[in-house]
Amino acid sequence: MFNGKSTIITGANKNLGKQTAIEFAKEGSNILLHYHLPSSANETEQLAKLLINDYNINAIIFGGNLSQEDITIELFDIAIEKFGKIDYAINNVGLMIRKPLFTNSLDEYNKMFDINVKASFLFLKYSELKLSEKGSVVMLTTSLLSAYTEGFSLYQASKAAVYWMCKTASKETQKKITFNCISPGPMNTPFLSGKEDESRINFLKNQAIEKRLTDVDDIVPIIKFIVKDGKWMTGQNLFANNGFLAPSA
Ligand SMILES: NC(=O)c1ccc[n+]([C@@H]2O[C@H](COP(=O)([O-])OP(=O)(O)OC[C@H]3O[C@@H](n4cnc5c(N)ncnc54)[C@H](OP(=O)(O)O)[C@@H]3O)[C@@H](O)[C@H]2O)c1
């Protein structure tokens, strides 16, 4: 159980972030639900109300662009102000523009690196500075880190940077915080479906032993494991994709 714990979850208004928030609340954690755009404020507020009513926890919402340092500092400070401390921080934000490297504009490059790399750097930095002693940080990367394929160069490059920053942070922490990544396989959310046609989706399904895409419900228990029973593990990247890809030795 997470009774007495406090958790920050970014991108918590939908998909993987939302399901993570629901499952952490069920276990009794207080939650800061982050959302990106002002248009998501209402749905995030509704989710907070539901978690408070159904699970008797404290939930607050916070909106903003996490590639900005002042916003990231505010994210952590508001959680400390409302909950007194932060035990767990889960960074779920990400952006994928799927196209060949040679056709990416500098603007697209900047967008992807701003949200995947800069926001992760800020999140890792302020996690170390603001979390409680022996807290846990989980960063979302991707099983594509092990793929030799076309169309994902900037996504792969930027998520690889997340992995390396996270891994090194785990060695440098002054507060015995665990820093780990989780790398889902192709996951059944609009993040993926908006970018792949039906034949590609069928191909991706066929790569898994169970012949289906990864569901958010496949990933949440692993996030819970990392922060709770997996506390002896740090600096790792857990690939969770039902046989789609495995990192080489
Ligand atoms: N779906 C997949 O196939 C898959 C596979 C492996 C790994 N992942 C990773 O898993 C994580 C969750 O993905 P998901 O499928 O659940 O999709 P998702 O809901 O679209 O998650 C991405 C989140 O990042 C937020 N975001 C984007 N730019 C931001 C910014 N500048 N500041 C703050 N937040 C920002 C998005 O908000 P807005 O949409 O409102 O901008 C969204 O909430 C991502 O890190 C993704 O890279 C996904």
Ligand 1 centroid distance, CA of 91 (Å): 9
Ligand 1 centroid distance, CA of 198 (Å): 21
Task: Categorize the per-residue pLDDT at 249 as very low, low, confident or very high, splitting at 50, 70 and 90.
Answer: confident
Q: Please choose, from the candidates 202, 210, 196, the residue with its C-alpha nearest in 3D space to the C-alpha of residue 243.
A: 210
Q: Which residue has the tokens 């995030």?
A: 44
Spatial neighbors of 191 by CB under 8 A, at least 6 apart, are 15, 94, 96
Ligand 1 centroid distance, CA of 215 (Å): 14
Pocket probe for ligand 1: among 36, 159, 220, the residue whose CB has the most ligand atoms within 8 Å is: 36
The answer to the question of residue 193 being in a domain is no
The answer to the question of residue 249 being in a domain is no
Q: Cβ(115) to ligand 1 under 6 A? A: yes
User: Does the pLDDT value for residue 248 go beyond 90?
Assistant: no
12, HSE (Cβ side, Cα atoms, 13 Å):
30
Determine which residue's CA is closest to atom 7 belonging to ligand 1.
142
The CATH code of the domain that includes 139 is 3.40.50.720
The answer to the question of residue 222 being in a domain is yes
Ligand 1 centroid distance, CA of 46 (Å): 20
Task: Categorize the per-residue pLDDT at 194 as very low, low, confident or very high, splitting at 50, 70 and 90.
Answer: confident
Question: What integer is the mean pLDDT of 108-121?
Answer: 98
Task: Categorize the per-residue pLDDT at 241 as very low, low, confident or very high, splitting at 50, 70 and 90.
Answer: very high
Note down the domain range covering 166.
Answer: 6-187+216-239
Question: What integer is the mean pLDDT of 5-27?
Answer: 98
pLDDT at 218: 98
The answer to the question of residue 194 being in a domain is no
Write the CA distances from 44 to 18, 51, 69, 152, 225, integer angstroms.
9, 11, 22, 30, 25
pLDDT at 118: 98
The answer to the question of residue 210 being in a domain is no
Question: What integer is the mean pLDDT of 144-166?
Answer: 97
User: Does the pLDDT value for residue 114 go beyond 90?
Assistant: yes
Question: What integer is the mean pLDDT of 160-167?
Answer: 98
21, HSE (Cβ side, Cα atoms, 13 Å):
33
User: Does the pLDDT value for residue 105 go beyond 90?
Assistant: yes
Pocket probe for ligand 1: among 14, 15, 191, the residue whose CB has the most ligand atoms within 8 Å is: 191
The answer to the question of residue 211 being in a domain is no
Q: Cβ(140) to ligand 1 under 6 A? A: yes
DSSP letter string, 142-153: -GGGG---SS-H
Give me the number of domains the chain comprises: 1
Q: Cβ(63) to ligand 1 under 6 A? A: no
The answer to the question of residue 26 being in a domain is yes
DSSP letter string, 3-15: TT-EEEETTTTSH
- Averaged pLDDT score across all residues of the chain: 97
Tens-place pLDDT, residues 30-86: 999 999 999 999 999 999 999 999 999 999 999 999 999 999 999 999 999 999 999
Q: Cβ(153) to ligand 1 under 6 A? A: no
The answer to the question of residue 180 being in a domain is yes
pLDDT at 81: 98
